[in-house]
Structure 1
Amino acid sequence: MRAFAARNRKRLVRGFVVLAHVTGALTSVSAVMETRTSQGAIAWAISLNTMPYVAVPAYWVFGRSDFRGYVTARRTHRKELATFWETFDQSLRDQKLVAPREENAPHVVENLAKLPATRGNDAELLIDGDQTFTSILEGIARAKDYVLVQFYIIRDDEIGRQLRDALVERAGAGVRCHLLYDEIGSKLPKDYLTTLRDAGVQVLPFNTTQGDANRFQINFRNHRKILVVDGIEAWVGGLNVGDEYRGLDPDVGYWRDTHMRVEGPVVQTIQVSFAEDWHWAAKVELPGLNWTPRPAANGADKRLICLPSGPVDPLETCTLFFLHAINKAESRLWIASPYFVPDAQFISALQLAALRGVEVRILIPEKGDSHMVDLSSWSYVPDLHAAGIAVYRYQKGFMHHKVTVIDDRYCTIGTANFDNRSFRLNFEVTMAVDDEEFTGEVINMLETDFDNARKVQHGELEQKSAWFNFWVRVSHLAAPVQ
């Protein structure tokens, strides 16, 4: 009897092993056909065939590169918005609020964004958490008609409860409040959500797993941070809602981040991004939004464009935008990113920029919140140094902002990192500014950051231990799936 049971167990084990490897082989075909980069396809194919017991479920959860259903939802929503959008577009032209192409040649970015570059805007630079959250809470308090709020992370801590209470107060005053959060990034307790809903605030998770085809996916994350008040002013940038973003986490310490507040016709284009995400999450249109553009009240005339990007775009919007920005640089290219894990095309573009005489600087944290990303970032240093590119590692605390400067006139502030996830998998939003005065403020801000950073020396990686260099290479090979 025992021998019979043992034989059955062996048959089951052999059957499981065969089934696992067959499933891994079949899944690797899907990975080769669907993964957006050759490096990622190779990494998945090897792991699916050699370690199917772990890699197969991991691929089902993390490996997909297409977000099924959102494309159809976006197409439907754009049809529903068509009347409003035609009115908005005509009003922009009537008021001469479309940024003229002969001034800043925005057609490449406009074609990527599917949104117009506008003029007549004002932009305020917000440095670190205290400035940002003070501005956001004051903006919510000014709301008379509606508030749209979207964050990747919202904590149930002091600042998270301040946001909750601000929305509850406005909802009690008759203001329509809509809150959208990423359910992977935010782990909000039931009583936090109940307090909001009982006050009349409409709260939804982005819900990437809705639909049978998406049931197990958590690979696509809504990483956007957007707040819109009355269709008049908006906030976009790197900060989520949590006390660590104010530098109050003793384990993290000082948190370096950047946000921006904008006013003018660009607000409606930011609003489009939120409305599309809400439509996906709620399956209904968000009614009653203000689609009437108006110039900034103070008469400012800054040129801005909003660039939403994500895995549903027909082109790799975020990738192409930043490649365009690098190729556009003539004298200065400064990039600050907490997660610097670019693919080969970006390294080549950065090298070419340096070789044509552009001052290229890369600013990354000395110590980040991902050990694998920290190791991966070292792997790029020799190739960057070979072209004369300076790499700085921020020392004062954790640097989290996503900022670029191109020459003395253009800059970007947004949510996208320089990594595969932001370029291809996350829903992101980037604000591109064509304005010397505002860009000058950003340059001054980054110069302070460079003063608080150390410059990586030539040969520094080679001087580290062989074991360290080995793990740097291993992390680099895993970069496409990080």
Structure 2
Amino acid sequence: MENHSASDSEPDSHKKKKFNRIRVFYRLYRKRLIAGFVVLAHVAGALTSVEAVMETRTPPGAVAWAISLNLFPYGAVPAYWIFGHTEFESYQAASLLNEAEFEPIRQDLTSSLAKQGLRDIPDTPLEKMLESLTPLSFTYGNKVDLLVDGRETFDAMYAAIDSAQKYILLQSYIIRDDATGRRFSEKLIAKAKAGVMVKVLYDEIGSLGLGSEFTGRLLASGVDVKAFSTNQSDGRKFQLNFRNHRKIMVVDGKIGFSGGLNIGDEYLGKHDELSPWRDTHMSVSGPTAMLLQLPFAEDWYWVTEEVLDGLDWELKPPAEDADATVLCLPTGPADIRETCGLFFLAAINSAKERLWIATPYFVPDEQILSALKLAVLRGVDVRIIVPGMNDSTLVKFSSYAYLDEVKKAGVRAYRFGNGFLHQKTMLIDDDFSCVGSANMDNRSFRLNFEIVLAVKSEDFGNDMEKMFEKDFADSTEFNEKDLDEKSFPFRLSSRVSRLLAPIQ
């Protein structure tokens, strides 16, 4: 019996030794695996940082990526391959291909504008600079209306849709399947069933939650709806850096709309946290409405490889009250120059008496900061209004650092207190105004497709002035102690967020 017990215990001893050997081997293997992963991650980070240094457009952006890729490669490497690229090669190639289609239209329009006396010949340094940034021209004979907030904007757009006889072009960064989105879709569907050509373009990232049921109803009713995807031809399945942020609607080539509003309930103040929603759009009738069709048509070509037929390119005599001069300025990452950033820089440098800016994302680069400081030194009344509440934590912290800096330079900075401010507007002196989709940040300057309408009109400038004055009254002026009196973690977060500004 004793021998039998000994023989039984021997296998248990072997099992225990075997288990210990496996455990030691597993620990050693796990350590080697972790070490290998760490080495591989840092090698990948180092190699990727070389590309970032060579490819990133700005030195601060290159430095920010290089540091993060080498110090924190585990998250920075995948982030770079998703968000880091700033050159949109495939759209540039597509632009070259469709140039043969659209350049004759531009030339014919330019010639017709000149013949009918509707082309404004630039006579100031600002106008010459801005017109050199775009193949489009300043045009006379436009009727413009400032549209403040969602109700006024959507009612004007609904009326324009109802008046459509030939076609409707609608482009939005965000379209939601909510009450507002469904009302738009119902109106578009009704027009499509009546024989009107309806084209709808939305950004696939901005409208990520838009389901096939919503688009299916449009398609089944004859509305041609497409998603703008920025990775469809670059071979980068996870390239999410470029967004089509433009907001455009054109009806029959006669009336156009652009500005800061997307299509969703929040723009009517129906948001759980960011209400009321403060935004600005504008409508334009005349030659510029026709020119707004060009960026839409080019984006449509990128998505479909189809040239839009049936658009009206024949200029009409302007209405008697159409006295505004307007420039349509589309910008994007496929531009040869950094058009959006240069536009803001030129506009700021042109200000002589007044420069009022409203932007939800105030994350400027160094050249914009310098231009704002120089404007103050010239004696210009420089004011900037930003949201008091934010939809981006990173922007909230970084904007505090920027506001603190410009405030110390003499800029009057305001934090809007009556809801969420989302408008992107600018008033220069008395007669030059800008309404568009572009924010004052790196993403709009270099990564997004944007659209800005620049208006020369004292009447429109007066409307902008009244709008700004009301917004200032609904705001609290930022003072030099606002950041200093915050807690240390807040101030640290602000400074760190600013370091990340070039790659935001």
Verify same fold: TM over 0.5.
yes
Q: Deviations for 1:409-439, whole angstroms, at most 9, x for unmatched residues?
A: 1010000011110111110000000111111
2:486 maps to 464
1:103 CA drift (Å): 6.9
In the alignment, is residue 243 of structure 1 matched against residue 269 of structure 2? Answer: no
1:422 maps to 444
Match of 1:264 among 286, 290, 313: 286
Match of 1:440 among 444, 462, 479: 462
Match of 1:225 among 241, 247, 266: 247
2:496 maps to 474
How large is the Cα RMSD of the aligned pairs?
Answer: 1.4
In the alignment, is residue 347 of structure 1 matched against residue 347 of structure 2? Answer: no
Q: Deviations for 1:24-48, whole angstroms, at most 9, x for unmatched residues?
A: 1110001011111212111111111
Q: What is the identity, as a one-letter code, of the residue corresponding to 1:346?
A: I
Distance 1:292 1:311 in 2: 30
Contact residue 97 and residue 295 of structure 1 kept, 8 A = no
Deviates more, 1:45-54 or 1:198-207: 45-54
2:299 maps to 277
In the alignment, is residue 183 of structure 1 matched against residue 204 of structure 2? Answer: yes
1:4 CA drift (Å): 4.4
1:251 CA drift (Å): 2.2
Unaligned runs of 5+ in 1: none
Contact residue 68 and residue 214 of structure 1 kept, 8 A = no
Q: What is the identity, as a one-letter code, of the residue corresponding to 2:477?
A: K
1:278 CA drift (Å): 0.6
2:409 maps to 387
Q: Deviations for 1:192-228, whole angstroms, at most 9, x for unmatched residues?
A: 0100000111111001110243322111011110001
Contact residue 67 and residue 214 of structure 1 kept, 8 A = no
1:307 CA drift (Å): 0.7
Q: Deviations for 1:127-154, whole angstroms, at most 9, x for unmatched residues?
A: 1000000111111111111111000011
Q: Deviations for 1:17-71, whole angstroms, at most 9, x for unmatched residues?
A: 2222111111000101111121211111111112212111110000001112101
Distance 2:116 2:363 in 1: 42
Distance 1:100 1:466 in 2: 54
Q: 1:340 to 1:295 in 2, by over 3 A?
A: farther
Aligned residues: 482
1:122 CA drift (Å): 0.6
1:132-171 equivalence runs, <5 A: 132-171=153-192
Q: 2:485 is paired with a residue of what secondary structure?
A: coil
Q: Which of the two has higher C-alpha Rg? A: 2
In the alignment, is residue 85 of structure 1 matched against residue 106 of structure 2? Answer: yes
Q: 2:53 is paired with a residue of what secondary structure?
A: helix
Distance 2:355 2:463 in 1: 15
Q: Deviations for 1:71-112, whole angstroms, at most 9, x for unmatched residues?
A: 111122121123333322221111010013237862211110
Name the TM-score, length of structure 1 as normaliser: 0.97
Distance 1:280 1:316 in 2: 20
Name the TM-score, length of structure 2 as normaliser: 0.93
1:470 CA drift (Å): 1.1
Q: 2:261 is paired with a residue of what secondary structure?
A: coil
Distance 1:212 1:394 in 2: 40
Contact residue 48 and residue 56 of structure 1 kept, 8 A = yes
Match of 1:69 among 63, 67, 90: 90
Q: Deviations for 1:360-418, whole angstroms, at most 9, x for unmatched residues?
A: 00100111111111111110233212222100111011010000000001010000011
In the alignment, is residue 313 of structure 1 matched against residue 351 of structure 2? Answer: no
Deviates more, 1:192-201 or 1:203-212: 203-212
1:209 maps to 231
Q: 1:9 to 1:177 in 2, by over 3 A?
A: same
Instruction: Please identify runs of 4+ aligned residues in structure 1 that moved more than 6 A.
Output: none
